[in-house]
């Protein structure tokens, strides 16, 4: 799992560096919002790089992640 120097998990657009997808990324699309560098694995809440460290934010991110899990599963 790709992380920043402090150990927070990188997701979505934060994984794109100089327009390149993360190393080892095997799917022909960019990572979804909240998706880690492992396709189909999502991160939400405090553990995620750049997240707002608040309960409501974590809950909201979790709800969003569920939608992307459905999208991921519909295309595998």
Residue 10: closest CA among 51, 40, 59, 69? 51
The encoded tokens of residue 29 equal 């699309």
| 58: contact with ligand FAD by CB under 6 A | yes
| 76: contact with ligand FAD by CB under 6 A | no
Q: In whole angstroms, how far apart are CA 7 and each of 2, 4, 48, 56?
A: 9, 5, 9, 22
Question: Which is closer to ligand FAD, CB of 8 or CB of 72?
Answer: 8
Question: Which is closer to ligand FAD, CB of 31 or CB of 45?
Answer: 45
| 30: contact with ligand FAD by CB under 6 A | no
Q: Which residues bind ligand FAD (CB under 6 A)?
A: 45-47, 53-56, 58
């Amino acid at each position: 799992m790709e992380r920043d120097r402090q150990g927070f998990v990188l997701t979505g657009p934060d994984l794109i560096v100089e327009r390149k997808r993360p190393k080892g990324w095997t799917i022909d699309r960019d990572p979804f919002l909240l998706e880690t560098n492992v396709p189909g694995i999502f991160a939400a809440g405090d553990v995620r790089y750049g997240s707002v460290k608040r309960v409501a934010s974590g809950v909201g991110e979790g709800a969003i992640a569920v939608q992307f899990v459905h999208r991921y599963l519909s295309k595998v």
